[in-house]
Structure 1
Amino acid sequence: MAIDLHTHSTESDGTESPAAVVAAAAVAGLSTIALTDHDTARGWTEAADAVGEYGVALVPGIEISCQSRGISVHLLGYLIDPTQPDLRGELERARESRRTRARRMVELIAEDLPLTWEDVVAQAGADATLGRPHIADALVAKGLVADRSEAFARYLHPSGKYHVSHYAPDPVRAVELVRRSGGVPVMAHPFAHQRGRVVADDVIEAMAAAGLAGLEAYHRDHDDEAREHALRLADRLGILVTGSSDYHGAGKPNRLGEHTTAPQVLEQIEAQATGATAVVRP
């Protein structure tokens, strides 16, 4: 079994529809994927409908963008009940803040470059969780950069002149909300230093005390030192270890199945889930 528990579709910042992600997973030889779009469960139905056709099991999930002490933290929530009021309200607040932030960033960029809000919206799916990757895609479409990587490096980096902050919940609260919704929270790429600053261990310890189930140790943005750090910390805290691609289609170089999760770990995630959502199997 080849299990990849972190992928994105056009419902957030991926470049393929939910069904196309499932199809791509079949081509990659995966048995199971998790669809974990940012702050939304909108892609689950389409992905679930594709399970029977492509023979790939689906773990419904989300990725919640959090912030602790000014540092970005990404939390994966598997098998949640997306209708749970507290979690749903937090996700809606985050989505609206992302959109407002993106519009302001476009306004700033437009002072120097020929870019409009309409250019950005044209790169996003209907009701997608809109964010910086869509601005990057608009810059590519306008011929202003070669790809997303150049867009982020030149114009969309957190330390750049066009950066605008957005609302993001504290990660401990996010862990509590995922658990309240019956889901299982796993911290994505916890020590990906190349993305920027990472939180100290005490933040992850507080998340674990609130119910954090695991760390995504195996990820392309972890070098050997970061991976070993995650493995040691997970062992000390008695929590699970996962591996994932963080697939975005053509939006990133990440390839499906380049890192995977052990079947027994997925079994433990399923065993912890108490929400309304279950793994969808062929």
Structure 2
Amino acid sequence: MRIDLHTHSSVSDGTRPPAEVMRRAAAAGVDVVALTDHDTTRGWDEARAALPDGLTLVPGMELSCELDGRSLHLLGYWFDPDDPALNAELARVQASRDSRGRAMVERLRELGSSVTWEQVERIADGARVGRPHIARALIEAGTVASMDEAFTKDWIGTDGRAHVTRYALDPATAIGLVRDAGGVSVLAHPRARRGKYVFDDDAIRGLAAAGLTGVEIDHPGHEPADRAALRALADELGLVGTGSSDDHGELTGDRIGCETTAADAYERLLAAVPAR
């Protein structure tokens, strides 16, 4: 069984609609796929309606969190999308995304770019605006030549000249919200050095103590040594180790299924889902 527990659609910062993500997962030989768009569940219904025979959908989301002043991403699965407490926090996150995006575009224009908010909204095509949409607008405007160049300190990278912070959840709070909504949580790509999503063992121990269920180990951004270290830590803490593509469509080379979760790990995640 091939299980990919981390993918994105055009509902957030992926380039493929949810229905196409499902079709591509089936074509890649995946049996179970999670749709985990950033801070939203809007793609779930479309994904469910388009499920090919033999493909199981894990409804999920990637929550924007912050720990010690750094961005941390938390994957939530099987929670109630109508949970009031969780939705109240998501509304704050989403409102902050919008205001942040407008502020970043304003800074970029002050720096000499011709990028406009209308251009960014067109690229987002109804999705909540994120930095990848702004980066694509920068390329379209001729300000930068690539996504990598956009995500530097010269432009919209962390601590970049046009970077603007936004509201994000405390991860321990997010873990509790997901649990109370009937779901389980997995720490996303904690050793993705290129993206600067690097958290040490003590940070992961703290999240485990707060109720974290698993940690993403086999991820395209993780080096072999980091995977081995995370696997040992997961065993020590009793965390479920997962594997995922973190596919964003064209932005990541349509890589659904390039990393997968073992069947026994998937069963452990399912068994950890709180009874409703």
Q: TM-score, normalised by structure 1?
A: 0.93
* Stretches of structure 2 lacking an aligned partner (at least 5 in a row): none
Map 1:226-241; keep pairs closer than 5 Å. Answer: 226-241=226-241
- Confirm or deny: 8 A CA contact 1:36 1:62 kept in the other structure: yes
- Confirm or deny: 8 A CA contact 1:192 1:226 kept in the other structure: no
Amino acid in structure 1 at the alignment position of 2:61: I
What corresponds to 1:141 in structure 2? 140
Per the alignment, in what secondary structure is the counterpart of residue 194 of structure 2? helix
Map 1:232-271; keep pairs closer than 5 Å. Answer: 232-253=232-253, 255-271=255-271
What corresponds to 1:5 in structure 2? 5
- Confirm or deny: 8 A CA contact 1:240 1:265 kept in the other structure: yes
- The offset of 1:99, in angstroms, is 1.3
- Confirm or deny: 8 A CA contact 1:181 1:275 kept in the other structure: no
- Confirm or deny: 8 A CA contact 1:183 1:275 kept in the other structure: no
Per the alignment, in what secondary structure is the counterpart of residue 101 of structure 1? helix
The one-character-per-residue Cα deviations of 1:259-280 (angstroms, maximum 9, x if unpaired) are 000112112212222377xxxx
What corresponds to 1:70 in structure 2? 69
What corresponds to 1:109 in structure 2? 108
Map 1:217-228; keep pairs closer than 5 Å. Answer: 217-228=217-228
Per the alignment, in what secondary structure is the counterpart of residue 155 of structure 1? coil
Q: 1:34 to 1:149 in 2, by over 3 A?
A: same
What corresponds to 2:46 in structure 1? 46
What corresponds to 1:88 in structure 2? 87
Q: How far apart, in 1, do the equivalents of 2:128 and 2:265 lie? A: 29
- The offset of 1:15, in angstroms, is 0.3
- The offset of 1:50, in angstroms, is 0.9
What corresponds to 1:28 in structure 2? 28
Q: How far apart, in 2, do the equivalents of 1:122 and 1:209 lie? A: 43
Q: Could you tell me the percent identity over the aligned residues?
A: 49
What corresponds to 1:171 in structure 2? 171
What corresponds to 1:198 in structure 2? 198
- Confirm or deny: 8 A CA contact 1:246 1:254 kept in the other structure: no
Q: How far apart, in 1, do the equivalents of 2:121 and 2:275 lie? A: 33
Q: 1:225 to 1:87 in 2, by over 3 A?
A: same
Of 264-273 and 4-13, deviating more is 264-273
Per the alignment, in what secondary structure is the counterpart of residue 151 of structure 2? helix
Q: 1:273 to 1:237 in 2, by over 3 A?
A: same
- The offset of 1:226, in angstroms, is 1.6
Q: How many residue pairs were aligned?
A: 274
Q: How far apart, in 1, do the equivalents of 2:72 and 2:138 lie? A: 26
Per the alignment, in what secondary structure is the counterpart of residue 163 of structure 2? coil
- The offset of 1:137, in angstroms, is 1.5
Compute the RMSD of aligned alpha carbons. 1.5
* Residues 1:214 and 2:214 are matched in the alignment: yes
Q: How far apart, in 2, do the equivalents of 1:275 and 1:252 lie? A: 36
- Confirm or deny: 8 A CA contact 1:79 1:275 kept in the other structure: no
Amino acid in structure 2 at the alignment position of 1:56: L
Per the alignment, in what secondary structure is the counterpart of residue 123 of structure 1? helix
* Stretches of structure 1 lacking an aligned partner (at least 5 in a row): 277-282
Q: TM-score, normalised by structure 2?
A: 0.95
The one-character-per-residue Cα deviations of 1:93-125 (angstroms, maximum 9, x if unpaired) are 111111111110100001111011001000113
Detail structure 1 runs of 4+ shifted over 6 Å in the superposition: none
Per the alignment, in what secondary structure is the counterpart of residue 204 of structure 1? helix
- Confirm or deny: 8 A CA contact 2:18 2:47 kept in the other structure: yes
Q: How far apart, in 1, do the equivalents of 2:119 and 2:45 lie? A: 28
- The offset of 1:148, in angstroms, is 2.2
- Confirm or deny: 8 A CA contact 1:68 1:199 kept in the other structure: no
- Confirm or deny: 8 A CA contact 2:113 2:138 kept in the other structure: no
- Confirm or deny: 8 A CA contact 1:4 1:261 kept in the other structure: yes
What corresponds to 1:61 in structure 2? 60
- The offset of 1:144, in angstroms, is 3.1
What corresponds to 2:161 in structure 1? 161
- Confirm or deny: 8 A CA contact 2:72 2:197 kept in the other structure: no
